[in-house]
């Protein structure tokens, strides 16, 4: 198999995922920009979450399973005393 058949890019991209995007949205954008079919992410971030999303490209997609079992840490900011109609940050404030 030639390099042209295997794809041109191999390795990891460290993406700062913006809020409102799904992990799949990020992968789809990377596929489109690089023109690479084999792209995958190592762990899913909630659409509301902002943070690091490791994205594997080409031959690196074979190693995603090893990175996905690594520990994760989270930092959160909360506001007490507010109630929304949907019980999450996306809802309208009712109290």
Q: Which of 16, 25, 46, 90 is catalytic?
A: 46
Residue-wise over 19-53: b if at least 16 C-beta within 10 A, else e? Answer: eebebeebbeebbeebebebbbbbeebeeebeeeb
Question: Does the annotation count 25 as an active-site position?
Answer: no
Closest CA to 55 of 19, 29, 73, 18: 29
- The residues that are catalytic are 46
């Amino acid at each position: 198999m030639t390099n042209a058949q295997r794809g041109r890019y191999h390795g990891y991209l460290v993406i700062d995922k913006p809020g409102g995007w799904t992990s799949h949205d990020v992968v789809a954008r990377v596929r489109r920009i690089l023109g690479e079919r084999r792209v995958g992410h190592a762990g899913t971030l909630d659409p509301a979450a902002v943070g690091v999303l490791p994205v594997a490209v080409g031959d690196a997609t074979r190693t995603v399973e090893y990175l996905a079992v690594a520990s994760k840490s989270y930092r959160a900011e909360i506001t007490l005393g507010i109630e929304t109609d949907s019980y999450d940050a996306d809802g309208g404030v009712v109290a």
